[in-house]
Structure 1
Amino acid sequence: MKTIIHVVQHLSPGGLESMVLDMLEFTSQEHRIIIVSLDGAYEKTLENWPRLQRYQDQIICLNKSAGFSFKVIKQLLNLFKTYNATVVHSHHIGPLIYSGIAAKLNKKINHVHTEHDAWHLNASKHRRLQRFALSLSQPKLVADASFVKKALNNIFNSYPIYTIKNGINPYKFSIGDKQKARNKLNIILPVNSIVVGNAGRLETVKGQLNLIEAFRFLNSKYHLLLAGSGSQKEHLMQLVKRYHLEDRVHFLGHIDHMPTFYHALDLFCLPSNNEGFPLSTLEAQACGIPCIANDVGGVSETLCPKSSILVSNNAAITLAQAIESMTHKTRKFSSRDFILKNNHAQSMVNAYEELYFEGANL
């Protein structure tokens, strides 16, 4: 049995973290998978994300203190030795630095690193750190989207880069019953309502403010479901009140069973200012829900071009027009078929497993 250790910055609900859990589920049972979170205490981490409960024996939290920590390097080195790690897979720059140093000190380990977005490399400090970390540990570098690979090539043009696009679990995210889903969410809507949904952190970068403002231009049959929480929740609720949209904009908070959320929708909207390679659009389409999304980061790579709409900006009026257009659009193509062909989690995991053990006598 070979041991694969994923190292992440933290384990809280998010695209990167969900992807790692999907990798755990789809990786061959011949391998042992451990997930190490640099930040957070174990009990609190499991309490804050119920999905982690079923994997509790495979999760380790280091509860790293602020600032650079030599202790974490030692902890990782000990973990790699204790579990006789064959592969270490880091995600983002913090885990790259810490696990890269620890993996370098254990020469038997194959180190793979995935970059999930590129906008953080706009900062010169991050570029210097990334260049240092790559030169030190020399991992196999993976971009999760074509736009990420292009950005990495522009900065680290001599470094070989693989592309493995994110995938989702199509058995979990599948076609469902709309009315049953709305009943489960305890949402009472007028007959013939058109329901738009958005899921994500309620933060400025996610663009929910623009989406709420778009509803000023839409008639009363349109309703908005917002799943998630964040620092902007109170501000967004005040905005809804100011625009007298209390009966049409519904804050659902954290949703434990996301397929139910998607099943309740007529369409999904992602108005973000910045994105990497979002999973939410993949999940929605796997549930048969068409998407409207702002053309940032790798978003365009996630959309079925025949059943979804990509907008050039996330201005309120642009979003409103796209929502109305989607409402009247004849659906001749299945967004789910697009996901099954291009973004199946099993295909993603197979590609990573090939990379993990490529040319290695492990």
Structure 2
Amino acid sequence: MHDINAPTVLHFVGAGRDVGGTLSYVRSLTRQNGARNVLIVQKGFTQTREPYMRLLKIKEGDYGSLVSPMAALDSLKQIFWLRRKLGRHPRRIFHGHSRGGVLIGIVLALLGYKNVVVTIHINGSQRWFYQLGHRILKDRMIFLCPAMKRYYGLSADNWRDCIPGSVTPKMRRPGKTNPPFFGPQSEQKLTLGGCGIVVAWKRWEIILEALGMLSRDLRSRVRFVHVGDPLDEAISKEYAQRLRNLVTQHQLEDIVEWRGHQNDLNDFYSEIDLLVHPAENEPFGLSVVEALFAGTPVLASDSVGAADLLKKENGLTFPTNDARALASVIASILSGETPFPRVNRQSLRPLEPDYLGARWAEIYARLMDRTLA
């Protein structure tokens, strides 16, 4: 039972489908944030992932873009009814997540609403927009990690004003007791994993190109398993075909497996030795958090936000978009030159659901104090 004085938080995502990390993030923060949580989505939205949330549906539109004036207008149109909802019920809070949600949050703040907060989920190309938004919202603009703040040219000496996502309790596994041993005399096969949608900015081709650079002997000791589907968009499907062509080009058919979408990833994280996260400038990457809580270390590009978690422990990094450097890291693991990384569970405490939930509860309580003062 919720406290009758608990706020109701309207999470504006504006999604048309139940896919992507933003919705996973919202779900991860709703369990222990002391609020009633409502998800604002498009009319055709159907929930396919747990935990299921109460839905508030709005007209179909483009709420995930700021590139075109029409997309911005779709979001701005929602301000009229949101003002009524926030004005009539002072214990309601607007929490914007998508680009459109951030735009709405900025406008509401300019209109004098104090019960507004936004979370930035992307390293957007319109940096000026987010810098302007930060000047307006100040501590009501929350980032996922310090790397994201640095991307926007903001001070980021620690995790202050940063709240990443977390994982469901069932994703928290003890992991392997002993890390695998690799070296010249080892017969151990290195199983690499990739987890995420099949889109170009995830840079899955970097892994395939790196595998293609390995010597035939080393290639026989590695395999790559990917879970995730292309989006229902032509550009994403074309990218998926490009990846299949690379598999053929580099003769990787025997060591690469595309498994598509999987609801339960526990077996996947238990099966792989190392999660490879080659994305370019990805803000954080919830799959990284999932892997670490499952006890699986991560090999990530050095431009992703999660790289802040991979310093001296939990995994390794390689230069972004550098397939040759990635191949070198893989080869050095297989040869035993690079010690296999281990997950330090104590370092994951700031990512625990109860810890993050408590932080959001504090933010919502602060907004209520300002609104009701």
TM-score range, shorter chain: 0.7 to 0.9
Structure 1 position 354 matched with structure 2 position 362: yes
- Which has the higher mean CA deviation after the structures are superposed, 94-103 or 256-265? 94-103
- 1:140 corresponds to: 140
Query: Are residues 1:41 and 2:60 paired?
Result: no
1:26 and 2:32 are equivalent in the alignment = yes
* TM-score with structure 2 setting the length: 0.77
CA offsets per residue over residues 44-69 of structure 1, 9 Å max, x none? Answer: x32xx5205x5253453442265313
* Closer/same/farther in 2, CA of residues 330 and 207 from structure 1, 3 Å limit: same
Question: 2:10 maps to which residue?
Answer: 5
Q: Provide the rounded CA distance (Å) in 2 between the counterparts of 1:276 and 1:135.
A: 20
User: What's the secondary structure of 1:318's corresponding residue?
Assistant: helix
Query: Greater RCO between the two (CA within 8 Å, min separation 6)?
Result: 2
SS of residue matched to 1:313: coil
Counterparts of 1:224-243 in structure 2 under 5 Å? 224-230=224-230, 231=236, 232-243=239-250
Query: Could you tell me whether the CA contact under 8 Å between 1:214 and 1:320 is conserved in 2?
Result: yes
> Judging changes above 3 Å, is the alpha-carbon distance between structure 1 residues 269 and 259 closer, same or farther for their aligned structure 2 residues?
same
* d(CA) in 2 for partners of 1:139, 1:300: 24
Contact 2:93/2:116, CA 8 A, preserved across alignment: yes
Q: How many residues align?
A: 329
| Contact in 2 for aligned 1:64/1:72 (Cα 8 Å) | no
Contact 2:204 2:278 in 1 (8 A): yes
Structure 2 vs 1, CA of residues 263 and 79 (structure 1 numbering), >3 Å: closer, same or farther?
Answer: farther
Measured after TM superposition, the shift of residue 81 of structure 1 is: 5.5
What secondary structure sits across from 1:276 in the alignment? coil
SS in 1 for 2:251: coil
- The answer as to 2:206 corresponding to 1:199 is no
Identity among equivalent pairs (%): 22
CA RMSD of aligned residues (A): 3.0
Q: Deviation at 1:240?
A: 0.8
2:139 & 2:210 partners in 1: Cα distance? 44
Give ranges in structure 2 of 5+ residues lacking alignment.
Answer: 1-5, 63-69, 177-186, 231-235
Report the AA paired with residue 345 of structure 2. Answer: R
| Helix, strand or coil at the partner of 2:244 | helix
- Superposition map of 1:1-362 within 5 A: 1-10=6-15, 12-28=18-34, 31-37=35-41, 40-42=42-44, 45-46=45-46, 50-51=48-49, 54-64=51-61, 67=71, 68-69=73-74, 70-80=76-86, 85-102=91-108, 107=113, 109-122=114-127, 127=128, 129-130=129-130, 140-154=140-154, 163-169=161-167, 171-175=169-173, 192-216=188-212, 217=214, 218-230=218-230, 231=236, 232-303=239-310, 305-327=312-334, 328=336, 329-330=338-339, 333-339=342-348, 341-358=349-366, 359-360=369-370, 362=372
Q: What does the per-residue CA deviation read over 1:52-108, in whole Å, with 9 as the maximum and x for residues that have no partner?
A: 5x525345344226531354222433444576653211124311222443566684x
Q: Quick one: which amino acid aligns to residue 41 of structure 1? A: K
The CA distance in 2 between the partners of 1:121 and 1:243, in whole Å, is: 37
Change (3 A) 1:91 1:332: closer
> Amino acid of the residue matched to residue 172 of structure 2?
S
Distance of 2:56 and 2:272 partners within structure 1: 33
CA contact (8 A) 1:73 1:99 kept: no
What runs of 5+ residues in structure 1 fail to find an aligned partner?
Answer: 179-190
